[in-house]
Structure 1
Amino acid sequence: MENSMEEVIMQEYQKAMKDLHSLWDEIGFDDQKREERTEYVTEQMKAMLRHMVSLEHSFKRKINADIEKYGEQFFKLNKELEAGISDPDADFTLLELENYLCSHVKILMKNANERRECVKKLQLQEQALCERLIEEPTELPKRTVPSKEDLDLLEKKIRTLQQEKINREKMFHQLQNRISELMEELEQKANTSFERDVLSDVELFTLSVQNLQRMRTIKDKYEKMVKTNEIESAKLREQINLIYIRLEIDLLERETFLSSVKNHKPSSVKKLSEELERLKEQQQQDLAKYINRLRREIEDWWEKCFISDEAKSEFVPYFTDEYSEDVLAAHDAEVLKLHHYYNENQTLFTKIEQRKKVWIRFMDLEERANNPDRLFGNRGCALLQEEKERRRVKKELPVVEKELEASVKAWESVNGKKFLIEGRTVSEYIEHEWIKYHERKEQERKKKQSERQNQLNYESKMGSKPPAVKRRMPANDTYRKAKLLRINEDHTTFMTSVRKTPQRTALRERNQNSIQGFEPSSSEVSTYSRFAFGLLNKKGNQSTFCRDENQQYFL
């Protein structure tokens, strides 16, 4: 390539010199002139070549400058954008390197501008949400080109703010509805600009944490007011119902009034207060009558609540002979106090009553077991049924007592004080009743022992004893004969000779002299019967009079 260019240049040079010499001949230049002209042409050609070389050097410098500029931009943008474009090849010429860097810089610049626009849009979106929610916007590091981390941070923050906006709007609607309901129940209107904002559209309300907290505060305040009205209303209704009962107000009149004040609004509370005042005025017209009624109510509540005599004596107005408004108010307050006490602990009192019923049944069965007369009325296996009932009650009683003690223990752990039954703890109360039971049993045992001893002393002195008590038989002779026949059937009858026992005349006369004028009473017979029955029980031979399937009777 270079050789052909040199040949072309030489050809052109030779042709030009040939033409110049021809011209110089025509002009008539001498040799000196010709030489001068030749040198001039040579200098011109050399200057032109030097100029051309200079231009190319300038172009090279320009290319190098562009390469340096594009190179800096390329490496910077490639790093900031994390584009991952590979570095240029080391074998690139200057023009190739310039073209490579220039083309990629244009692409990277476009990506950088797009990222800046994206960040700008995200920041505007975030700013709007922050203004809506009164939150601080994200502060990004100062960079010429935002990083991917910056974009991710903004997008995440926007998603969080959007979800927070949804949650706060939901919370706003809940609080708004609740506040509206409470204000309606309180018969109250919005008094402040904030309350009016609360009842307005959500888009007009600033959903800041502080504003939502203010809404919660308003809701809590109104709920307390409603709760206060409910408590006051319930208290007034309770007092009104008690006075209705005392004054014996007609049921229709009661229901008519109470049906007109079913809610707890201030207007209803006011009506209830006015009705209570009216009833109190009516009640005070005959203080003695109503105080005595209240005392009967208090007695009932004392019994239901198992109040001890000591606690009863602490209520001094109950024992006064004075009838005044203060005494009436004290009795009224005592009834309410006992009523509340019973209602709050109704579960415990129900268990106490349950235990009391089982205990009474247990005592009744024990008393019946000690009555020997029951042996003579044993129809339909009554003694067997009674014994089953006694075993069932003995098994049920400790279970009921254990449940009662567990319930009382749970109550005491919650309330931090002792639960008293007739002035005693539940354990003391149960133990006291068992002690009384054993003392009574011991007294009965000693009484029976004394009676038996007296009877034995009497018999030893008199030399005789009351006739043995025979078992009572049914009055129907036919039934008795049938029974005897059934007992003797399928048995071989053995006949033995019978003779009378020789009479002991002397002994008979002595006995007649000893018992002359003595007639045994039924009480003495009963005493001996109990004595004999007790001996049998000690040996484990409990008498039972019942009928089996074969119609045979046993004693």
Structure 2
Amino acid sequence: MRENMDIDGSLSICEDTRVKRILQSVETGLRSWYSIVNTFGLNENDKVKWEEELQDEIEACVNDCHAAAIEKQQALIDKIESLLTESEKMCKKLTIQMPSFAPTNQGLYNDEKYLIELVKGWQEEITTRTVEIDNLKTRRDEVSKSLGREPFFVKESPLPSRDEIEMYKIKLQELEVEKQHRIEKFRDLQERIIALSDEIKFMPKLDFERDIITGDNLLFFEASDENMQRVEQFHFDLLEMREKIEQELNKLREALEHLWKVLEEDVKYCNDFIQTHVGLNYKTLEAFKTEVKRCELIRKTNLGKFIVKLRTELIDRWNEAGFAEARRAEFAIYMEDDMFTEDLLTLHDMQIERVKAYLRNNQEIFELLKQRDVLYKRMRDLDERANAPDRFKNRGGQLLKEEKERKAVTKKIPCIEEQLLNLAVQYEEKHGEKFTYFDDTIESLIERSREVLEQEKKEQMSARKQKRDVTMSSSKMTPRVLYKSPSMAQLSTRNHLTPHNLRTPMRTPKTAPARRVLTARRSITKAKIRLSTDKKKRIAAMREQIKSSKRTEPNENDIEYSKFEIEMSRKDGAARSTISLQSPHATLLKPSIRIETPRTVDKQLKTFGVKAKLHF
């Protein structure tokens, strides 16, 4: 460094001029000095001494000036070297590469100035990074302490780069967000804990529990992993307490309702007790326990009466669970025991609880069985409606609704049966035995239900067929005489029937009045009977079938009609008329019946239970 900065002795024109001016000034001074010394009158030796002294002084002055210049030069060189050394350290601290430096032709002062500015910029960067890192470390220590964790590492020497500082900031931000979430979670848990404590009337025992419930000393709460676990565990313990209280209250309430039922306790007393002791808390729990003890004490004084009631309830539970005789036989010896003791009462209670537990554990199966029974019952109802005589009286789209419901029920039944089969398999895998309902497995129940349904359908079809056959036979043997009133038959003034020949119409002009034929008591108006060829053929075929059929027992309607026909045939001189007999099964045309008067006919028809309408 020093060799590079040594001056080689060459002067510029300006410097050469300044040297000449200095030399000229010195020469002028020397000349003036000589002029003065010459006035002294010194001999030559003294004059030479004075000249030597002057030369020594001039040389000393020049040497001093030269030495001062060299000293100043060295100082500048040392300063530059110091700045370079400091720059190198700063670059290492900032983790940056040291820039290359070489002396310039502008002199040591300029080199010094350049290095000073460079070092100043690096120093500012170091100061800025140091402040940021100190702030990060302070926030890191606070968050880490609040979270109960070890502070994450922050590099100090060399100073972290800008990218590393940004990474530290992101990590610190994540910790602060987690801290905020924990504080919010703590506040939420605190609210729940306070609500649960008020609900179950919990009395805190530890200072930590008391601080959370009362809210004291929470300004310095640290959301550390340990503290958060303690708060969560406290909340979980309160939930368990509430659940246990609820379970105990449900058991006590069920036991109390059973005891009240057995003891035939006053309904008003029971309702008042339930309304008074409400809520899931220890106070209500103690009240229920006390009431159960009171009822049990009363029950013990009347063991025989209560054991009989328990036996009745047990039988109902057995029926509900589908226990057959084989399963009931296990407890049969106690059902017949007449020695009423507390142990026997306890055994009955235990047996009832066992059956209840069986019902609870297989609740899904029993609910599906009930749904299946309801659907099968609904299917039967729909089948009966479909076969009802008035099914075609469709008002409001009832047939369409029933058909849609039938399809829905038909789809639901197989789904429920499939679920039952799956649950039966699970039950067998769990218990090592098949699930039975009155000694029937689910498979046999399903199969038998289907068979019963099919058998019922067959029986319904057979009954309908038999009813139809009987109706047809009855219709063939029962007289069906058609007569339509003038309004229905559209009486014409041109066509009239005489009493002696109903089949011979009489033609009269359209403008002529209605012609009447009088009998001994009143005139009779005859209507025109319109019978199609198809009806005549069908009636003839039915009559032929009646004659050829062989019946073992005569039909009651046939007997009545035969009597009626014989009785009417005995009447002589009666006019023939056409009577419309109302039958619920069929419509038949019988030959004309001789009658004397409408009143006589009406009386005779009532005698035989036949409804008739006569129009004269």
The 5-angstrom pairing of residues 82-481 of structure 1 reads 91=104, 92-143=106-157, 145=159, 147-148=161-162, 151-199=165-213, 200-316=216-332, 319-322=335-338, 323-342=340-359, 345-357=362-374, 359=376, 380=390, 399-409=411-421, 411=423, 417=430, 419-434=435-450, 470-472=473-475
Change (3 A) 1:5 1:520: closer
- 1:432, CA displacement in angstroms? 4.1
CA distance, structure 1, for counterparts of residue 115 and residue 471 of structure 2: 139
CA distance, structure 2, for counterparts of residue 213 and residue 493 of structure 1: 96
What is the total number of aligned residue pairs between the two structures? 485
CA distance, structure 1, for counterparts of residue 400 and residue 61 of structure 2: 143
- 1:404, CA displacement in angstroms? 2.2
The 5-angstrom pairing of residues 526-545 of structure 1 reads none
> What one-letter code is carried by the residue in structure 1 that aligns with 2:301?
Q
Change (3 A) 1:146 1:265: same
- Superposed CA offset, 1:123-150 (max 9, x none): 2333233333322223333416554356
CA distance, structure 2, for counterparts of residue 153 and residue 469 of structure 1: 101
Aligned partners of 2:87 and 2:98 also within 8 Å: no
Change (3 A) 1:141 1:521: same
What SS is found at the alignment partner of 1:470? helix
CA distance, structure 2, for counterparts of residue 412 and residue 153 of structure 1: 61
- 1:73, CA displacement in angstroms? 1.7
TM-score normalised over the length of structure 2: 0.65
> What one-letter code is carried by the residue in structure 1 that aligns with 2:415?
E
The structure having more radius of gyration, on CA atoms, is 2
Change (3 A) 1:397 1:150: closer
Change (3 A) 1:249 1:35: same
- 1:188, CA displacement in angstroms? 3.0
Aligned partners of 1:176 and 1:198 also within 8 Å: yes
- Residue ranges of structure 2 left out of the alignment (5+ in a row): 1-13, 460-469, 490-526, 541-549, 556-582, 589-616
CA distance, structure 2, for counterparts of residue 521 and residue 436 of structure 1: 33
- 1:238, CA displacement in angstroms? 0.7
Aligned partners of 1:77 and 1:109 also within 8 Å: yes
- Superposed CA offset, 1:308-351 (max 9, x none): 33222233356323233333323333334434544565554343
- Residue ranges of structure 1 left out of the alignment (5+ in a row): 444-466, 499-514, 524-544
- Kindly indicate whether structure 1 or structure 2 has the higher relative contact order, using CA contacts under 8 Å at least 6 residues apart: 1
What SS is found at the alignment partner of 2:153? coil
Change (3 A) 1:333 1:389: farther
Change (3 A) 1:64 1:238: same
CA distance, structure 2, for counterparts of residue 487 and residue 247 of structure 1: 80
TM-score normalised over the length of structure 1: 0.71
Q: CA RMSD in A?
A: 4.9
Change (3 A) 1:251 1:186: same
Greater helix proportion:
1
- 1:98, CA displacement in angstroms? 0.3
- Superposed CA offset, 1:461-519 (max 9, x none): xxxxxx99832479795568899999963439999xx9xxxxxxxxxxxxxxxx9xxx9
Change (3 A) 1:494 1:111: closer
- Superposed CA offset, 1:167-209 (max 9, x none): 2222222232233333333433221222233332421323221
CA distance, structure 1, for counterparts of residue 471 and residue 33 of structure 2: 189
> What one-letter code is carried by the residue in structure 2 that aligns with 1:307?
F
Aligned partners of 1:197 and 1:205 also within 8 Å: no
Aligned partners of 2:190 and 2:212 also within 8 Å: yes
CA distance, structure 2, for counterparts of residue 321 and residue 67 of structure 1: 118
What SS is found at the alignment partner of 1:202? coil
What SS is found at the alignment partner of 2:323? coil
CA distance, structure 2, for counterparts of residue 159 and residue 239 of structure 1: 58
Change (3 A) 1:79 1:12: same
- 1:253, CA displacement in angstroms? 1.5
CA distance, structure 2, for counterparts of residue 227 and residue 331 of structure 1: 28
- 1:87, CA displacement in angstroms? 5.8
